[in-house]
Amino acid sequence: MPDDSPRHAAIALVRGYYAAFNRADWSAMLALLHDDVAHDLNQGPRETGRDAFAAFLARMDRCYREQLHDIAVVASDDGRRAAAEYVVHGEYRVADAGLPPAHGQRYVLPGGAFFEVRDGRIARVSNYYNLEEWLRQVG
């Protein structure tokens, strides 16, 4: 018997988000976001709205090639909050603003995110990883 609980729906939503990320299917990712999605960048400002998120994805696609492995997702019973932990396997392809020069450096580091879910879509994504460790690996 399928589990149609709010918790299960939130987990499926976040898993779908990461499946789209790993396929580099930015349209599918954007379709899972609320129109006014809040995006908390790691050690950076909050950006708001699907258009801002699309611009972030375009920058990521230009500068990095990443795959997420060992993804674990949990959610609250009411399905309003979820969290994910994963391991990022990436390549730094083009220098990103304010970061070191890029020349194909590879990196592997743990990361995570917190989510708010509203109306069956992701309303907030807060991403976290150890920037100092990433800098050490690409430096």
pLDDT of residue 1: 44
Residue 2 has pLDDT above 60, yes or no: no
Question: What is the extent of the structural domain holding 134?
Answer: 6-138
46: in domain: yes
Do residues 61 and 90 touch, judged by C-beta distance below 8 A?
no
Q: What is the mean pLDDT of the chain?
A: 96
Q: State the average pLDDT over residues 24-44.
A: 96
Do residues 47 and 60 touch, judged by C-beta distance below 8 A?
no
**Can you give the CATH number for the domain in which 55 is found?**
3.10.450.50
**Residue 19 to residues 22, 29, 94, Cα–Cα distance (Å):** 5, 9, 24
Number of domains in the chain: 1
Residue-wise pLDDT tens digits, 59-110: 999 999 999 999 999 999 999 999 999 999 999 999 999 999 999 999 999 9
What is the Cα–Cα distance from 90 to 41, expressed in whole angstroms? 17
98: in domain: yes
